[in-house]
Structure 1
Amino acid sequence: MPSPAMPASPQSAAPANAAASAARLPKHEPLAFQTRNGMVESVHYGSLVATAPGGRTLLSAGEPRAPFYPRSSLKPLQSVAMVRAGLDLPADLLALTAASHSGAARHLDGASRILELHGLTPAALENSTDLPYGVREREEWLRGGGRPTQLAQNCSGKHAAMAATCVINGWPVQGYLDPSHPLQQLVAETVTELTGEEPAGISTDGCGTPLFALTLAGMARAFGRLASADLPDGMFDGGAAAAESPEAAVAHSMRRHPEMVAGEGRDVTELMRLLPGALAKDGFEGIQLVGLPDGRAVAVKISDGGDRARMPVTVRALEALDVDTSALAGIATGAVLGGGRPVGLLQAADFPFLSPTDDVL
């Protein structure tokens, strides 16, 4: 019997593998750095883009055209699709459908309310199980003897809404995460419409939801559309049906209830509280989206997938757009401690922005 073929040695395989890897790697740029006693200790690379209404590029760094997975920053777009399909919830619960919540009592109770309003129980949820995402919420949950559940997982508001949307439309609840399910087909169409681009690939998010590879430019366009969607004065009575558009209903609910979109102590909640009219959503792997009421938007991707550089870079980009970010000082940098006292700073780099006047991504 012949011997099995031996793998190539690392030395002989390295050049080909390195070339193949280099061809796939986005051309990220240094966007943030951390110092300790005046010395640069860490550097975070990434890409970003800021767009005007219609898609014109206002600012960019790195490679904003490179496809990436937006992860949970897709949730507001998924919520728009559900409102288009007839989902009509009070504003706090609609905000929860777009949330990566911390797992506080208000979040778990809200997800349960969405289910109950549509004759469902947590057994209808098809997301993965987890402990609450927030540190304090997780510790409290564990002290009470809690275990990983689908309701505690940070996407349970979205999943409760997906199951509810199926009930509203007479679609099968079981299997609502299948890409061929009518709900997911509608989500895919809505994402394509709002971003203005076809997905470069499809995968599965951590919670089990279909996930689309898009560009930072496309996601910025979508958030600009949501944040600038008009809601006529006096027409919002707490339900999506009164809104002028599903985009306006989702954006209004998130801005009105930022505590439902993330949670206490979370920077996304703080940004929406401190910057009136801003629409913000983060995502795993270093992603941040912010839409402004005038239709401009910022999209950030930190290449190492870490969380700490995401908000300082976002605040720096907003500042470059001449947005008054003075109220955001508390989330624009991070203290570096030595022996319990500040000895350095995590901050956005003074990265070189490209400022084209007529580039449409």
Structure 2
Amino acid sequence: MYSSSLVDAPLIREPLHAPVAHLLRGGVIEGIHYGSVVVLDTGGQVQLQLGDIEAAFYPRSALKPVQAVAMVRAGLPLDGELLSLAAASHSGEERHLAGTRRILDLAGVTEDDLRNVPDLPFDPFVRDSWVREGRLPSRLAQNCSGKHAAMLYACRLNSWPLDGYLDPAHPLQQAIAEIVEDLTGQRIAQVTVDGCGAPLFSVSLHGLARAAARITTAVAGTPEALVADAMRDHAEMASGSGRDVAALMRAVPGLLAKDGFEGVQVAALPDGRAVAVKIADGANRARVPVAAAALGWAGVDPGLLTEFQGEALLGGGRAVGCVRPVRSLEPVVVPACA
């Protein structure tokens, strides 16, 4: 089972990534996506590893469930769809904006107190609608606004200063760092700034998978279980309509999944099986089928994963190939490529 003792921080080095997916066109390997993959069994033991699962890397938004757990441990009273939104990389749909406003109202603060970067909605259709309507980038529309609103709420509840809540030395961020180390089981290697402006903690891919498994296997009613239940029950609040990560949670019973920029994916089942993926070039077209293949390798019914095998490559308007995970990620049903 999982140990509560911390190991040393992962080494900061050039990751020794390996091929994880082939770009096949007309039966020829046209390109190769490199990356790293880890699969854990129910006891937390590594059952499969490709590439470098121990080097320091940035999980990006795949770490948001851990950040949400830290805030709940600090007294954040959210549950359901608002707690899911606190762990979200949302699409900027109206429900996401409305939910973020509700969190701000509960905290007794306003959008002006947010310190995430102004942006247009993440979802391309919603973003195009904003542009047509002449709406400008806003902190509310930026995909991390739910997390930032929850951070302000946690600060208010603990009488921590609102100013500087993104400073790594702020009590909130110190509390989050402590839980990152607790759930990953390792010291943080490096702290930098994520795209939204919040501190970003470097751990290993192995540590990220371990954290996800600890969240999904936690006892009911604990902060970990509350976050897992909220995200699974309100998958679209943690992402958005049409997002692959929400569809994956709907397709696989009990699965908790979170994606992150630069080709990161983590997913865990209630029995502790977990997978984590990093695509070296950050390509989503490889992230999705590789994560699905890793879940298949972990024992998820391949029939539940068919819609996540990747989009077909087109030539002249017809399918002539696909992105296919490498053979070592089998057993899983993989698409036949032209």
With structure 1 as the length reference, what TM-score do the two structures score?
Answer: 0.86
Task: Spell out the pairing of 1:204-223 with structure 2 (5 A cutoff).
Answer: 204-223=193-212
1:193 aligns with 2:170: no
- Name the counterpart of 1:203: 192
Structure 1 position 52, deviation (Å)? 2.8
- Name the counterpart of 2:20: 31
Q: Is the 8 A contact 2:41 2:298 kept in 1?
A: no
Q: 1:352–1:338: structure 2 CA closer, same or farther, 3 Å change rule?
A: closer
Q: 1:27–1:352: structure 2 CA closer, same or farther, 3 Å change rule?
A: farther
Structure 1 or 2, whichever has the larger Rg, is 1
SS at match of 1:160: helix
> 35, 39, 60: which is aligned to 1:50?
39
Task: Spell out the pairing of 1:23-172 with structure 2 (5 A cutoff).
Answer: 24-172=13-161
Of residues 293-302 and 50-59 in structure 1, the stretch that sits farther from structure 2 once superposed is 50-59
Moved over 4 A (4+): none
> 307, 314, 322: which is aligned to 2:284?
307
SS at match of 1:58: strand
Distance in 2, Cα, partners of 1:198 & 1:168: 27
- Name the counterpart of 2:9: none
Structure 1 position 54, deviation (Å)? 4.8
> 213, 219, 226: which is aligned to 1:230?
219
Distance in 1, Cα, partners of 2:216 & 2:288: 19
Distance in 1, Cα, partners of 2:218 & 2:164: 32
Distance in 2, Cα, partners of 1:294 & 1:24: 33
- Name the counterpart of 1:238: none
Gaps of 5+ in 2: 1-11, 331-338
Q: Is the 8 A contact 1:94 1:250 kept in 2?
A: yes
SS at match of 2:266: strand
SS at match of 2:236: helix
Structure 1 position 331, deviation (Å)? 1.4
Q: Is the 8 A contact 1:53 1:225 kept in 2?
A: no
SS at match of 1:309: helix
Distance in 2, Cα, partners of 1:68 & 1:302: 11
SS at match of 1:208: coil
Q: Is the 8 A contact 2:38 2:205 kept in 1?
A: yes
SS at match of 1:351: helix
Structure 1 position 53, deviation (Å)? 4.4
SS at match of 1:117: helix
Structure 1 position 90, deviation (Å)? 3.5
- Name the counterpart of 1:266: 243
* Aligned residue-pair number: 319
Gaps of 5+ in 1: 1-22, 232-243, 354-361
> 167, 184, 199: which is aligned to 2:173?
184
Of residues 33-42 and 190-199 in structure 1, the stretch that sits farther from structure 2 once superposed is 33-42
Structure 1 position 338, deviation (Å)? 1.7
Q: Is the 8 A contact 2:21 2:326 kept in 1?
A: yes
- Name the counterpart of 2:266: 289
Structure 1 position 229, deviation (Å)? 1.9
Structure 1 position 352, deviation (Å)? 6.4
With structure 2 as the length reference, what TM-score do the two structures score?
Answer: 0.92
Distance in 2, Cα, partners of 1:148 & 1:325: 41
